[in-house]
């Protein structure tokens, strides 16, 4: 923590007496404020150091070192600097790359569905024609109060033949679906995430839409814009910052994909222990006891997350500024 | 955490099932045990008692420990029943070792032993292993626990793969017991044609250990350490032969293809939909325990051979006992291990649980097992005699990999995809090798990838 | 939940057909979100055999009380323990964590010091870092220090909430006018006294929002306890149910208790959201607009 507190030197050039005392008072006030800021911020930054900076540093350190044994590995261990060896191992591991591919595909399906879906619902609710609007919001929001693991449990059962009324109903219509089959696992996971978060993001968008000034909308009506055009061409652009924020947080969460596949893995052989990068890290660390590999994979996931977030921010900023210029 | 999901082997599931009802009954036993041990130690007077800790997921372990404690006063064993390996038992062991409080004696299955030896969890016990005990153990079993002339654990049982078959259904349809894999495939076609909707067997999509056993038998060498480096060749010529064989059975729809931990597999056995189970000798006891209603219907025959005049075999299952690096009483731990693997009372105690048909690695115990095993379930077939004949066919020189559980997972994932029509069993073997190499390299091991 | 309909009537009148379509889409969406929860409620009241055999809507095998009893009797009442643990981790953790974060966010807003924006950038960066990345090093650190597999190994990391600092700064900007601080200073009140007596009260709704977010996050927490804990007695509900579910494939008697246990685990958050909705909606707005 660097809350700057200039150590005030007692020996100041004597000036006019009241000036000195005023400056002294100012300094004392500043010191007090810095002290207060320090006290208020210290607990958080202690935590930040303890559970963020040190672990990130440890992960980076671990990824460059390894407890090696020569030859077959049955001798004594010694910790050696291995450079990029662990990174090379991760990046040549087809199971890690396929996990990355899985998450990339997951993001490509999930994020557009989520953003468009929740924005559309918010626009519909905001259009003023929906009956029992607050009840609708309550219903849509409810899954957010369901913990992720339990959402996954509920849907797992809804995907399980013999328990699921969905499969039973489809069966009666002569449709057999294996929700946990070779090509259906990813859509099934997307569905769980969508179900959990749709309502939450809808509320975020709805709140942003409520803040759109009424005059803007009235102006649109005067221009002869219908409700659909108003929604798409007037309202949606005005909540763009919310869209970016929702997309960003959805992306960060999506890259961490862990809970849902971890649970479904208990019931489907089509979801393996290295299904996503996060599962790969867990597997490398705790089932393969390969810390440097896990650490390298962690750092790679971290870099990807930061790079993608940074890229998205840059891209939206550029789009923003180019539109500013166009105006 | 112990609940880690995994496609555990058939064996571990059964172990988990049987472990549950046992614990209640065992509470009483252990009370007796401790009561008698107290009286023992009080009468033994000045001699101090060493207490060692022991973890195992094996059925009947509590009975064995009680028998040991009853007859020993200078060593007492504190036993903890832990989840089977892939159900969290191995994770528990790794975590404890990392925290410096692993038990004195741990149970480790053959495929996982190289990993625990490399990680330094299993202690090098070469110097503590007396020649007497060494001579008692089947050489093929001890070969599995010795690397670079250093021994890391003591084998308890060695489990030749055998063919469990439905004698009643074979008789009903007039099938002969196959002795070669060609005959087995021919029988599979017959069953498909005339078996009333049945299949000869299930190809286990979670069956790394079965696949390994078949390839072992055929002469494969997935891992080879003879040249001072880990040579990995999981798609060598014998493996390609085995993979192609089962692929054809799957393609022709002659076998079921699903996980053996799935409920559907229980139904396949329970409803008599499959006629054979290819698994280790231990599975005889597990079957007895899990499906008492099928009493008398099963018999056991040797596993089919590729060439009848040059028999060879792989193992399926089997456990060993290791002294861990954290043990403060390694000598006492060794004494307990030696008693457990070689004393007749130990085997009798284990078989008394009624759920075990383990084939002991100590050859002189085979007769004890023969006498103690209740043959009624198998129509008084002398299965231990069969196991004994089969055990000598086990091909020497098989080596498990340094991260066998992980290797197996990658393989089994690809088996499952192959079962769903995406890729082949041979692809799965390539995938397993490709998914294993980065692991070994990141561990800093010397590796090569030659293949035949 | 009554969400204020501030602009209920708009001068935008779509045609009847459009109106029907809009309502149909919303109704379908609500069914999509509600039916799985309804299934959970119905399934929790079924006996094990009925769960697998009969139709979900038949009330012939109605045994919610029995299931509840089974749930709390299973494995020597482990579930009650897990529930208590979850409450402890979540309520205590969220209360303490939100106080820490909001205090820090407030300081970021009201005080000026060198490298302030750089530090704030660090906080924002921490928001983006996946928890799975931190798990292994946290575990190893906990192992080294001997706190692994204790209450603290889960409790301390969940206190850390950088997003709460971000929200705290925004709330401080919105709710605590600088003039109030100046006035307090003129009155000679100490900085910390002012914070506790004046600012914190004004930050109330924001604090509740951060608390609620953190409560949800901790109640949902699954990865960290999974890594840290091997003692079942310390598990939170999420991890406990995960483990019971893994046993259900072998021992089906776990199915009804997992379902009933899931239903109970959903209740506290629903309760918290309904009771505190006045506050969190403002929090969402703040987060959304900025």
Per-residue model confidence as pLDDT tens digits over C84-132: 999 999 999 999 999 999 999 999 999 998 899 999 999 988 988 888 8
- Assess whether pLDDT exceeds 50 at residue A163: yes
Q: Is A116 on the interface with C (CB under 8 A)?
A: no
Per-residue model confidence as pLDDT tens digits over A171-227: 888 888 889 888 899 999 999 999 999 998 998 898 888 888 888 888 888 888 777
Per-residue model confidence as pLDDT tens digits over C200-228: 999 888 898 899 889 999 999 999 999 89
Give the mean pLDDT of chain A.
Answer: 86
A31, A57, A83 - which closes a domain: A57
User: Does A25 share its domain with A150?
Assistant: no
Q: In what order do the strands lie in the sheet with B161-166?
A: B276-280, B161-166, B298-302
Per the model's pLDDT, the better-predicted residue between C63 and C69 turns out to be C69
Q: Is A4 on the interface with B (CB under 8 A)?
A: no
pLDDT band at C58 (very low <50, low <70, confident <90, very high): low
User: Does A263 share its domain with A118?
Assistant: yes
- Is A176 a domain residue? yes
User: Are A191 and A197 spatial neighbours (Cβ–Cβ below 8 Å)?
Assistant: no
Q: Is C119 on the interface with A (CB under 8 A)?
A: yes
Count of structural domains within chain A = 2
User: Does A241 share its domain with A123?
Assistant: yes
CB contact (8 A) between residue A290 and residue B205: no
- Assess whether pLDDT exceeds 50 at residue B369: yes
Chain B residues with CB inside 8 Å of A296's CB? 442
- The residue among B11, B85, B88, B101 whose CA lies nearest residue B404 is B85
pLDDT of residue B15: 38
Characterize B328-338 residue by residue with b for buried, 16 or more Cβ atoms within 10 angstroms of its Cβ, and e for exposed: ebbebbbbbbb
- The residue among B290, B285, B307, B296 whose CA lies nearest residue B387 is B285
A57, A83, A109 - which closes a domain: A57
pLDDT band at B209 (very low <50, low <70, confident <90, very high): very high
Give the mean pLDDT of chain B.
Answer: 87
* Mean pLDDT of all residues in B129-156: 94
pLDDT of residue A326: 60
A residues 138-167 near C, CB within 8 Å?
138-150, 153-158, 162-163, 165
| Structure-block tokens of residue A134 | 């607050």
CB contact (8 A) between residue C226 and residue B98: no
Q: What is the ipTM of this complex?
A: 0.86
**Tokens 């192959």, located at residue:** B418
The domain B10-158+316-383 is classified under which CATH number: 3.40.50.1950, 3.30.390.50, 3.40.190.10, 3.40.50.720? 3.40.190.10
Radius of gyration of chain B measured on its C-alpha atoms? 22
Chain A residues with CB inside 8 Å of C242's CB? 149, 262-263
- Assess whether pLDDT exceeds 90 at residue B12: no
Ordered alpha helix ranges (H), C176-253: 178-186, 191-194, 200-202, 204-220, 223-228, 237-248
CB contact (8 A) between residue C55 and residue A205: no
H/E stretch holding B371 reads helix B366-372
* Mean pLDDT of all residues in A221-250: 84
- Assess whether pLDDT exceeds 80 at residue C286: no
pLDDT of residue A309: 86
C-alpha A222/C-alpha A216 separation (Å) is 10
pLDDT band at A312 (very low <50, low <70, confident <90, very high): confident
Q: Is B29 on the interface with C (CB under 8 A)?
A: no
DSSP 8-state code for residue A129: -
Domain ranges in chain B with CATH number 3.40.190.10? 10-158+316-383, 161-315+397-448
pLDDT of residue A46: 96
Chain B residues with CB inside 8 Å of A292's CB? 442
pLDDT of residue A2: 37
- The residue among B282, B288, B270 whose CA lies nearest residue B374 is B288
* Mean pLDDT of all residues in B276-299: 93
- Chain B: give the shortest CA distance to residue C143, in Å: 6
* Mean pLDDT of all residues in A226-235: 82
Contacts of C among chains (3+ CB pairs under 8 A)? A, B
- The residue among A247, A236, A311 whose CA lies nearest residue A115 is A247
Q: Is C250 on the interface with B (CB under 8 A)?
A: yes
Residue A36 sits in which domain range? 17-57
Those residues with Cβ within 8 angstroms of residue A210's Cβ, 6 or more apart along the chain or in another chain: A126, C6, C7, C285
Q: Percent of chain B beyond pLDDT 70?
A: 90
- Chain B: give the shortest CA distance to residue C243, in Å: 5
Which of A203, A291, A301 is facing C284, going by the closest CB pair? A203
| Structure-block tokens of residue A253 | 């969460």
User: Does A32 share its domain with A157?
Assistant: no
Per-residue model confidence as pLDDT tens digits over B216-267: 999 999 999 999 899 999 999 999 999 999 999 999 999 999 999 877 898 9
C-alpha B292/C-alpha B364 separation (Å) is 30
C-alpha A156/C-alpha B293 separation (Å) is 33
Angle between helical axes of C93-110 and C162-175 (0-180°, round to 10): 50
Q: Is B408 on the interface with A (CB under 8 A)?
A: no
Those residues with Cβ within 8 angstroms of residue C228's Cβ, 6 or more apart along the chain or in another chain: C138, C139, C142, C148, C149, C153, C154
Instruction: Tell which of B6, B99, B202, B438 to mutate to test the A interface (max A CBs under 10 Å).
Output: B438
The domain B161-315+397-448 is classified under which CATH number: 2.30.30.90, 3.30.565.10, 3.40.190.10, 3.30.70.270? 3.40.190.10
Per-residue model confidence as pLDDT tens digits over C163-207: 999 989 988 988 889 888 888 888 888 888 889 888 999 988 889
C-alpha A24/C-alpha A72 separation (Å) is 71
Those residues with Cβ within 8 angstroms of residue A35's Cβ, 6 or more apart along the chain or in another chain: A5, C191
| Structure-block tokens of residue C187 | 């009155």
* Mean pLDDT of all residues in B21-26: 32
Per the model's pLDDT, the better-predicted residue between A217 and B62 turns out to be B62
Burial of A177 (0-12, 13-18, 19+ CB in 10 A): middle
- Assess whether pLDDT exceeds 90 at residue B356: no
- Is A74 a domain residue? no
pLDDT band at C9 (very low <50, low <70, confident <90, very high): very low
Burial of C121 (0-12, 13-18, 19+ CB in 10 A): exposed
User: Are C113 and A2 spatial neighbours (Cβ–Cβ below 8 Å)?
Assistant: yes
Q: What's the CATH number where A108 sits?
A: 1.10.3720.10
Give the rounded distance of the alpha carbon of A288 from its chain centre. 27
Per-residue model confidence as pLDDT tens digits over B388-432: 999 999 999 999 999 999 999 999 999 999 999 999 999 999 999
pLDDT of residue B92: 87
User: Does A124 share its domain with A219?
Assistant: yes
Give the three-state DSSP class for B145: coil
pLDDT band at C1 (very low <50, low <70, confident <90, very high): very low
DSSP 8-state code for residue A233: I
Per the model's pLDDT, the better-predicted residue between A235 and A298 turns out to be A298
Q: Percent of chain A beyond pLDDT 90?
A: 46
- The residue among C222, C205, C231, C283 whose CA lies nearest residue C89 is C222
- Assess whether pLDDT exceeds 60 at residue A69: yes
- Assess whether pLDDT exceeds 50 at residue C2: no
User: Does A254 share its domain with A205?
Assistant: yes
- The residue among A217, A219, A218 whose CA lies nearest residue A235 is A217
Q: Is C223 on the interface with B (CB under 8 A)?
A: no
Per-residue model confidence as pLDDT tens digits over B84-106: 887 788 988 998 888 888 999 99
Those residues with Cβ within 8 angstroms of residue B179's Cβ, 6 or more apart along the chain or in another chain: B302, B304, B305, B308
Which of these ranges, A256-265, A315-324, B120-129, has the smallest mean pLDDT? A315-324
User: Are B120 and A77 spatial neighbours (Cβ–Cβ below 8 Å)?
Assistant: yes
Give the domains, in start order, of chain C with CATH numbers: 16-65 (no CATH), 71-289 (1.10.3720.10)
- Assess whether pLDDT exceeds 90 at residue C15: no
Chain C residues with CB inside 8 Å of B16's CB? 250
pLDDT band at A293 (very low <50, low <70, confident <90, very high): very high
Characterize B41-62 residue by residue with b for buried, 16 or more Cβ atoms within 10 angstroms of its Cβ, and e for exposed: beeeeeeeebebbbbbbbbbbb
Give the three-state DSSP class for B50: strand
Give the mean pLDDT of chain C.
Answer: 84
pLDDT of residue C59: 58
- Assess whether pLDDT exceeds 50 at residue A6: no
pLDDT of residue C283: 62
- Chain A: give the shortest CA distance to residue B230, in Å: 6
Those residues with Cβ within 8 angstroms of residue A25's Cβ, 6 or more apart along the chain or in another chain: none
Burial of B89 (0-12, 13-18, 19+ CB in 10 A): buried
């Amino acid at each position: 923590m660097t809350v700057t507190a200039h150590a005030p030197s007692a020996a100041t050039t004597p000036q006019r007496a009241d000036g000195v005392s005023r400056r002294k008072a100012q300094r004392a006030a500043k010191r007090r404020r810095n002290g207060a800021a320090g006290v208020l911020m210290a607990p958080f930054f202690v935590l930040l150091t303890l559970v963020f900076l040190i672990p990130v540093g440890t992960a980076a350190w671990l990824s460059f070192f390894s407890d090696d044994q020569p030859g077959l590995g049955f001798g004594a261990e010694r910790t050696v600097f291995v450079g990029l060896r662990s990174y090379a191992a991760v990046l040549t591991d087809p199971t890690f790359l396929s996990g990355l591919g899985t998450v990339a595909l997951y993001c490509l399906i999930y994020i557009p569905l989520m953003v468009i879906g929740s924005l559309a619902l918010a626009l519909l609710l905001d259009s003023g024609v929906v009956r029992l609007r607050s009840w609708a919001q309550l219903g849509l929001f409810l899954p957010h109060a369901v913990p992720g693991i339990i959402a996954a449990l509920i849907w797992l059962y809804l995907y399980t033949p013999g328990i699921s009324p969905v499969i039973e109903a489809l069966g009666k219509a002569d449709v057999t679906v294996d929700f946990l089959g070779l090509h259906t696992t990813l859509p099934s996971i997307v569905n769980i995430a969508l179900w959990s978060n749709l309502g939450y993001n809808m509320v975020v968008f709805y709140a942003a839409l409520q803040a759109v000034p009424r005059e803007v909308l009235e102006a649109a009506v005067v221009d002869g814009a219908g409700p659909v055009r108003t929604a798409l061409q007037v309202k949606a652009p005005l909540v763009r910052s919310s869209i970016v924020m929702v997309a960003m947080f959805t992306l960060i969460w999506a890259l961490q994909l862990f809970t849902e596949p971890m649970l479904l893995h208990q019931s489907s052989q089509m979801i393996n222990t290295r299904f996503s990068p996060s599962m790969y890290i867990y597997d490398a660390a705790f089932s393969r006891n390969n810390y440097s590999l896990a650490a390298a994979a962690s750092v790679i996931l971290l870099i990807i997350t930061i790079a993608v977030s940074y890229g998205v921010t840059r891209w939206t900023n550029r789009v923003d500024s180019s539109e500013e210029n166009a105006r | 955490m112990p609940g880690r999901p995994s496609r555990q082997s058939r064996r571990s599931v059964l172990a988990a099932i049987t472990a549950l009802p046992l614990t209640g009954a065992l509470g009483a036993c252990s009370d007796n045990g401790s009561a008698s041990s107290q009286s023992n130690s009080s009468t033994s007077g000045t001699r101090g008692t060493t207490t060692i800790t022991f973890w195992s997921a094996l059925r009947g372990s509590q009975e064995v420990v009680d028998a040991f404690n009853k007859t020993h006063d200078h060593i007492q064993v504190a036993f903890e029943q832990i989840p089977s390996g892939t159900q969290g038992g191995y994770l528990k062991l790794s975590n404890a070792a990392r925290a410096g409080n692993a038990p004195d004696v741990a149970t480790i299955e053959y495929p996982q032993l190289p990993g625990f030896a490399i990680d330094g969890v299993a202690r090098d016990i070469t110097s503590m292993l007396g020649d007497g005990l060494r001579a008692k153990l089947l050489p093929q079993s001890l070969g599995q626990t010795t690397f670079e002339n250093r021994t890391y654990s003591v084998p308890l049982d060695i489990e030749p793969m055998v063919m469990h078959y439905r004698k009643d259904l074979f008789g009903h349809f007039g099938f002969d017991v196959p002795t070669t894999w060609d005959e087995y495939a021919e029988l599979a076609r017959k069953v498909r044609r005339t078996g009333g909707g049945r299949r000869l067997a299930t190809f286990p999509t979670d069956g790394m250990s079965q696949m390994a056993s078949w390839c072992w038998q055929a002469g494969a060498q997935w891992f080879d350490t003879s040249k001072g480096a880990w040579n990995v060749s999981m798609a060598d010529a014998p493996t390609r032969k085995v993979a192609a064989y089962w692929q054809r059975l799957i393609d022709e729809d002659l076998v079921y293809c699903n996980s053996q931990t799935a409920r559907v597999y229980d139904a396949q056995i329970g409803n008599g939909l499959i006629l054979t189970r290819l698994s280790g000798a231990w599975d005889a006891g597990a079957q007895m325990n899990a499906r008492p209603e099928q009493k008398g219907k099963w018999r056991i025959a040797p596993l089919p051979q590729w060439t009848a005049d040059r028999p060879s075999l792989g193992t399926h299952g089997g456990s060993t006992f290791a002294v861990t690096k954290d043990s403060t009483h390694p000598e006492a731990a060794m004494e307990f291990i030696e008693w457990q693997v070689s004393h007749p009372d130990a085997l009798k105690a284990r078989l008394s649980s009624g759920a075990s048909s383990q084939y002991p690695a100590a050859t002189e115990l085979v007769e004890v097992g023969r006498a103690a095993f209740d043959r009624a379930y198998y129509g008084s077939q002398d299965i231990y005699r069969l196991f004994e004949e089969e055990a000598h066919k086990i091909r020497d020189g098989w080596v498990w990999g340094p991260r066998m559980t992980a290797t197996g997972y990658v393989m089994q994932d690809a088996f499952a995809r192959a079962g769903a029509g995406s890729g082949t069993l041979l692809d799965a073997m390539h995938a397993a090798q490709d998914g294993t190499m980065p692991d070994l390299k990141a561990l800093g091991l010397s590796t090569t990838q030659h293949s035949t | 939940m009554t969400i204020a309909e501030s602009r209920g009537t708009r001068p935008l009148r779509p045609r009847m057909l459009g109106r029907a379509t809009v309502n149909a889409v919303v109704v379908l969406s609500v069914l999509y979100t509600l039916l799985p929860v309804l299934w959970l409620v119905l399934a929790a009241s079924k006996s094990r055999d009925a769960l697998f055999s009969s139709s979900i809507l038949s009330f012939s095998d109605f045994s919610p009380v029995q299931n509840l009893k089974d749930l709390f009797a299973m494995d020597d009442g482990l579930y009650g323990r897990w529930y208590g643990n979850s409450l402890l981790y979540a309520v205590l953790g969220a209360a303490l964590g939100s106080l820490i974060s909001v205090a820090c966010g407030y300081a970021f807003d009201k005080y000026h010091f060198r490298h302030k924006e750089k530090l704030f950038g660090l906080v924002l960066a921490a928001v983006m870092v996946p928890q799975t990345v931190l798990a292994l090093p946290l575990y190893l650190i906990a192992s080294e220090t001997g706190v692994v597999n204790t209450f603290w190994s889960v409790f301390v990391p969940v206190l850390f909430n950088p997003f709460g600092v971000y929200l705290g700064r925004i709330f401080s900007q919105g709710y605590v006018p600088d003039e109030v601080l100046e006035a307090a200073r003129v009155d000679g009140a100490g900085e910390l006294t002012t914070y506790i007596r004046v600012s914190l009260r004004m930050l109330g709704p924001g604090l509740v929002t951060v608390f609620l977010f953190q409560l949800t996050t901790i109640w949902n927490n699954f990865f960290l306890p999974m890594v840290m804990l091997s003692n079942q007695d310390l598990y939170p509900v999420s991890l406990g149910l995960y483990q019971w579910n893994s046993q259900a494939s072998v021992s089906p008697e776990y199915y009804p208790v997992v379902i009933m246990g899931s239903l109970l685990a959903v209740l506290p958050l629903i309760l918290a959201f309904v009771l505190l909705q006045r506050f969190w909606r403002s929090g969402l707005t703040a987060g959304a607009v900025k």
